[in-house]
Structure 1
Amino acid sequence: MLVHRKKRPRYEIQAPLTSLIDIVFMLLIYFMLTTNFMVDEGIKIKLPQARAAAPQKSQEITLYVDKEGRAWLNEKEVAHDRLFKMLKEKIAGGKDQLVIVKADRSVMLNKAVKVMDIAKAAGAARLCLATEKDF
């Protein structure tokens, strides 16, 4: 009588995936928290809306006009009498200089036009009034 031994199944080597999955999720959380999302920080204004608004490729000089009619240049409030001098210094070397005016939609038109007039007098070759795309 022959006795046959039962073959035992071989143990398969398995890599521990739990710690690997934990590391992948930690990396995912890290990159989600450290990613720089595009946030346009600055003066809180609500731009007027237009259906035919086109995004600007390069923004050279940006002027903000808030709802009280105050002018802001480089996120610093500037009095209207000093604005001309500061813009003239910034525009001095540039030909075909673009000045973008971002005026709050609730500002009186006269105040926004006054800032645009100061920019044109300071030597701005091109003026642009910023709008939001109307959806």
Structure 2
Amino acid sequence: MLVHAKPKKRYAVQMPMTSLIDIVFMLLIYFLLTTNFMVDEGIKIKLPQARAAAPQTEETITVYVDSQGQAFIGEERLALDCLFDRLKEKIGGRQDELVVVRADRTVILNQAVKVMDIAKAAGAGRLCLATEKEL
């Protein structure tokens, strides 16, 4: 009498999904936490409002003008005579450099125009006055 051995069932190869799911959740938590800490650096100002405001996407040099008319680059406060030298240094030899002036809505217009004039004299190829979208 011949006895045939029963063929053993082969197990299909399975990927360990638990560890992959853990990694996906860790990445999700990482990105959720880091996006909350990305803030625009600079001084606290209230921008003027405009209906046709569009988001600025390219890398720029930003000059802030607060409500007292003082000029800032980042957190550094600069006198208007030092602003020219600092902007000239930041612009370098680039002729098509964009300088954005973010002036507080309560600042006297003359102060914002002075900052724009200094930026143009320092070699800025393009100037932009920042606004926020009106609701």
- TM-score bracket, shorter-length normalisation: 0.7 to 0.9
Paired residue type of 2:71: A
Cα offset, 1:32, TM superposition: 8.4
> What is aligned with 2:44?
44
Structure possessing the higher radius of gyration over alpha carbons: 1
Q: CA separation in 2, counterparts of 1:60 and 1:67?
A: 22
The amino acid across from 1:127 in the alignment is L
Figure out how many residues of one structure are paired with residues of the other and give that number. 111
What is the TM-score when the length of structure 1 is the normalising length? 0.73
Taking the aligned partners of 2:129 and 2:91, their CA distance within structure 1 comes to 18
Q: Which runs of 5+ in 1 are unaligned?
A: 1-22
Moved more, 65-74 or 31-40: 31-40
Q: What are the residue-to-residue correspondences of 1:117-128 with 2, within 5 Å?
A: 117-128=117-128
Structure 2: runs of 5+ lacking an equivalent: 1-21
Q: Which residue of 2 aligns with 1:112?
A: 112
Question: What's the RMSD between the two structures over aligned residues?
Answer: 2.2
| 1:64-83 equivalences in 2 (<5 Å) | 64-83=64-83
% identical equivalent positions: 65
Contact 2:43 2:74 in 1 (8 A): no
Q: Structure 1 residue runs of 4+, over 4 Å off?
A: 30-33
> What TM-score comes out, normalization by structure 2 length?
0.73
